[in-house]
């Protein structure tokens, strides 16, 4: 309970702001390289959107519907790609909400110093080994997803977008 409360407090503090700049570091085990992407993430009541300004691409996930926009035009995604993205976004939303019972129902929660480690309990464990949340000065610094195929995705949150 104590651990869950910490997560909720941490997330709540950081999430007071709804719109963030972030850096995504994506490690691909296949090519042994890390790719860096810059973007903006916006959490709203019904979902979230991620904008990659450099490539003029956006992913919008509202009311369980995923839209991919390229140069402001909607591009259709194949089913599997959609499912991957939706699951990924569901996790981000879950972490963002920081809802005690929802987090507890999906993950085992452990705190190692400043890092909170979430280990999936249900079907998520088919795709994700663990999720790390790192805080500094009581603010969420990064979220790192360790995937089953040795890939990883780390999202570092910088600041609130004015």
Tell me the three state secondary structure of residue 106: helix
Question: Of 37, 10, 11, 39, which is closest to residue 26 (Cα–Cα)?
Answer: 37
Please report how close the Cβ of residue 114 comes to another protein at its closest, in angstroms: 26
Candidate ranges 3-11, 15-23, 102-110, 128-136; the one touching another protein (CB under 8 A): 102-110
* Residue 137 interacting with another protein (CB under 8 A): no
Q: How far from 104 is each of 21, 39, 58, 141, 157, CA to CA, in Å? A: 28, 29, 31, 21, 24
Residues lying near another protein in the complex (CB under 8 A) are found at: 26, 28-33, 35, 37, 45-46, 52, 55, 57, 59, 61, 63-66, 68, 77, 79-81, 83-88, 90, 93, 97, 99, 101-102, 105-106, 123-126, 147, 149, 151, 153
């Amino acid at each position: 309970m104590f651990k869950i409360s910490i997560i909720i407090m941490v997330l709540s503090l950081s999430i007071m702001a709804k719109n963030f700049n972030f850096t995504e570091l994506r490690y691909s085990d296949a090519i042994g390289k890390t790719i860096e992407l810059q973007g903006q993430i916006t959490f709203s009541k019904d979902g979230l959107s991620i904008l990659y300004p450099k490539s003029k691409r956006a992913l919008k996930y509202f009311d369980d519907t995923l839209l991919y926009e390229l140069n402001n035009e909607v591009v259709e995604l194949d089913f599997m790609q959609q499912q991957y993205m939706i699951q990924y976004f569901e996790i981000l939303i879950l972490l963002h909400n920081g809802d005690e019972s929802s987090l507890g129902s999906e993950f085992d929660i452990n705190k190692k110093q400043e890092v909170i480690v979430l280990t999936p309990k249900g079907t998520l464990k088919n795709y994700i080994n663990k999720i790390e949340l790192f805080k500094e000065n009581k603010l969420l610094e990064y979220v790192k997803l360790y995937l089953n195929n040795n890939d990883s995705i780390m999202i570092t949150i910088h600041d609130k977008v004015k």
